[in-house]
């Protein structure tokens, strides 16, 4: 079986997505790329009910090279992202807070410094019908220089060097959206300034122990 390890990881990731509440029913999809092949979850199957054999393998033109089930309807989006980025894994969710924010904002501002882990302010890709080239183009643009994006009136997408990191990006984005929504219920959320974000980047560059004390102290 081609991409046997990757197809098994798709199933594991799908179960984690359902367990984390990132998808409901048969919504959401996941893919992983190795070389010129992509393994993707099928359409119409709950992500926690998948077996490796359920997950078709495609080439980069979208042709199925192995597998009996039809691939997810969002294959055009996945292939567009792979074409324009160096990513190796994609997680697409319909998580509650991500959808809420996608219906109300044009971008999710950096209200917490961990937004930097996603590349900064999270853009909201304009709405288009699922599975269309238009949606694929919108999401590809929203992901430029980012590890995640929201999809207007739809959901979220996160990318990574592997499925673990892509899933962690999706989980972080959902948490950031939840913080924003709950903060908004109390008042206007404070957004971190460019200077504050730059200071975080500088502090992270020093490593976990921080800067060394001046010599002689």
At 147-178, the pLDDT tens digits run 999 999 999 999 999 999 999 999 999 999 99
pLDDT score at 215: 43
Give the chain's mean pLDDT.
95
pLDDT score at 42: 98
What's the pLDDT tens digit per position in 53-98?
999 999 999 999 999 999 999 999 999 999 999 999 999 999 999 9
pLDDT score at 207: 84
Q: Given 12, 63, 66, 74, which residue is catalytic?
A: 74
3-state secondary structure of 24: coil
Domain boundaries, the chain: 4-205
Predicted confidence band at 7 (pLDDT cuts at 50, 70, 90)?
A: very high
% of the chain exceeding 90 in pLDDT: 94
pLDDT score at 216: 42
Written as six digits, the tokens of 190 are 């404070």
Say if residue 136's pLDDT is above 50. Answer: yes
Say if residue 209's pLDDT is above 90. Answer: no
DSSP annotation of 150:
E
Q: From the options 2.40.160.10, 3.40.225.10, 3.20.20.450, 1.10.340.30, give the CATH code of 4-205.
A: 3.40.225.10
pLDDT score at 210: 65
Say if residue 11's pLDDT is above 50. Answer: yes
**Which of these, 59, 61, 62, 45, lies nearest to 10 by C-alpha position?**
45
What's the pLDDT tens digit per position in 28-45?
999 999 999 999 999 999
Residue 124 near residue 108, CB atoms below 8 Å: yes
Q: Mean pLDDT, to the nearest integer, of 125-142?
A: 98
Cβ contacts of residue 134 below 8 Å, gap of 6+?
128
Dihedral, CA of residue 100, residue 103, residue 106 and residue 108, to nearest 10: 0
Written as six digits, the tokens of 179 are 């913080």
Residue 74 annotated as catalytic: yes
Q: Mean pLDDT, to the nearest integer, of 179-200?
A: 98
Written as six digits, the tokens of 151 are 């999809």
Say if residue 211's pLDDT is above 60. Answer: no
Residue 150 near residue 108, CB atoms below 8 Å: yes
């Amino acid at each position: 079986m081609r991409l046997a390890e990757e197809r098994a990881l798709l199933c594991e990731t799908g179960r984690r997505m359902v367990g984390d509440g990132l998808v409901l029913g048969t919504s959401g999809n996941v893919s992983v790329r190795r070389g010129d092949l992509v393994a993707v979850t099928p359409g119409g199957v709950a992500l926690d009910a998948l077996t490796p054999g359920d997950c078709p393998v495609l080439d980069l033109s979208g042709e199925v090279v192995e597998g009996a089930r039809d691939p997810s309807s969002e294959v055009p989006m996945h292939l567009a992202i792979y074409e324009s980025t160096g990513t190796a894994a994609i997680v697409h969710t319909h998580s509650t807070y991500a959808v809420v924010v996608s219906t109300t904002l044009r971008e999710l501002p950096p209200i917490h410094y961990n937004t930097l882990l996603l590349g900064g302010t999270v853009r909201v890709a304009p709405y288009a019908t699922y599975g269309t080239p238009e949606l694929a183009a919108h999401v590809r643009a929203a992901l430029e220089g980012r590890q995640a994006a929201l999809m207007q009136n739809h959901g979220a997408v996160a990318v990574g060097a592997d499925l673990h990191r892509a899933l962690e990006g999706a989980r972080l984005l959902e948490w950031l959206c939840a913080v924003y929504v709950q903060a908004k219920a109390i008042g206007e959320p404070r957004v971190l300034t460019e200077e504050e974000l730059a200071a975080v980047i500088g502090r992270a560059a020093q490593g976990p122990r921080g800067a060394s004390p001046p010599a002689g102290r």
